[in-house]
Copies of this chain bind each other. A is one copy, B any other.
Amino acid sequence: MTSVITLLTDYGLEDGYVAACHGVIAGIAPDVRVIDVCHTIPSGDVRRGAAILAQTIPYLPKGVHIGAVDPGTGRARAVAIEAGGRVFVGPDNGLLSWAVHAAGGAEAAYVISNEDYFLRPVSPTFHGRDVYAPVAGQLCVGLAPAELGPERPPERLVSLPEPTSLIREGCVEGEVVSVDRYGNTQLSITASDLEALGVRVGDTLGVWLGRRQLSMPYRETYAAVPPGELVAFADSVGLVALAVNSGDASQRLGLPPGAHVRLSPSP
């Protein structure tokens, strides 16, 4: 028996969509705790959903983890993926792929096709309510994932290309993974990448953004520089972030997700 369901969607907080999912779960598995991971993923932004789910999953108890961000609205096959003692439920469009990887990689996957566990009629535009929520509830009260439908070889699941970093010529290159509430701009470059280049906390970094070149202090936290100043630091999941203390680095630097960034040990 699993006692936790987590929920990440792009349903927003302005409507009753999230509540409908909670309601369906409560009707099937009344004792399960539901943790809302995030519901304000920009509509259809699979990459941002994937990033937030993957970065949060290490801190969530093992359970059933629903992701519902699907610009194709139901075109993607619904799947249940077992990984590291967790079950991920959602569209097979890459949304779950980084979190599955963070949980240790897919051990088995099943296409969710057995309509016995759906709410019917299934709305083509609301699989969260009619497919993912009832299936997750059933999984919590004892249903085996294999009952959901035919097995799908994990290697055939859709994967988003993982944001990566590349060390060459004494620099490390990567991209913007996500921008948080504060405008902190998280890169695909890890603190270990910088360490491998000999960079230590306290050093100054060279930062290339396209043709622009800047230099920034590399510190333990953004609070280590005066308000309004740029700084790089290793964020709470170990990725290098560019920030402005008490300000918005993404706006200041004009850096959206996906933008290319290169860092070097000294300016």
Q: Specify which of A8, A13, A24 lies most central, judged by the most chain B CB atoms within 10 Å of its CB.
A: A13
A61: chain B residues within 8 A (beta carbon): 23, 26-27, 30
Whether B236 lies near A43 (C-beta < 8 A) is: no
Whether B125 lies near A181 (C-beta < 8 A) is: no
Partner of A129, one of B14, B74, B236: B236
A8: chain B residues within 8 A (beta carbon): 16
Whether B182 lies near A43 (C-beta < 8 A) is: yes
Cα-based distance from A260 to B117 in the complex (angstroms): 39
Q: Which of A135-170 contact B (CB under 8 A)?
A: none
Whether A20 lies near B59 (C-beta < 8 A) is: yes
Query: Which of A104-112, A192-200, A204-212, A219-227 faces chain B?
Result: A219-227
Whether B16 lies near A55 (C-beta < 8 A) is: yes
Given A182-B43, A223-B74, A23 and B60 contact (CB-CB distance below 8 Å): yes
Cα-based distance from A179 to B123 in the complex (angstroms): 18
Q: Which of A48-92 contact B (CB under 8 A)?
A: 52-53, 55-56, 59-61, 71-75
Q: Which of A237-251 contact B (CB under 8 A)?
A: 237, 246
Which chain B residue lies CB-closest to A16?
Answer: B56
Task: Report the minimal beta-carbon distance from A232 to chain B, rounded to whole angstroms.
Answer: 12
Is A259 close to B, CB under 8 A?
no
Cα-based distance from A30 to B2 in the complex (angstroms): 12
Task: Report the minimal beta-carbon distance from A89 to chain B, rounded to whole angstroms.
Answer: 17
Cα-based distance from A6 to B237 in the complex (angstroms): 24
Cα-based distance from A4 to B61 in the complex (angstroms): 18
Nearest 8 A-B pairs (CB), nearest first? A16-B56, A12-B181, A126-B236, A23-B60, A123-B236, A20-B59, A73-B223, A19-B37
Could you list which residues of chain A lie within 8 angstroms of chain B, going by C-beta atoms? 3-4, 6, 8, 11-17, 19-20, 22-24, 26-27, 30, 33, 35-40, 43-44, 52-53, 55-56, 59-61, 71-75, 119, 123-126, 129-130, 180-182, 220-223, 233, 235-237, 246
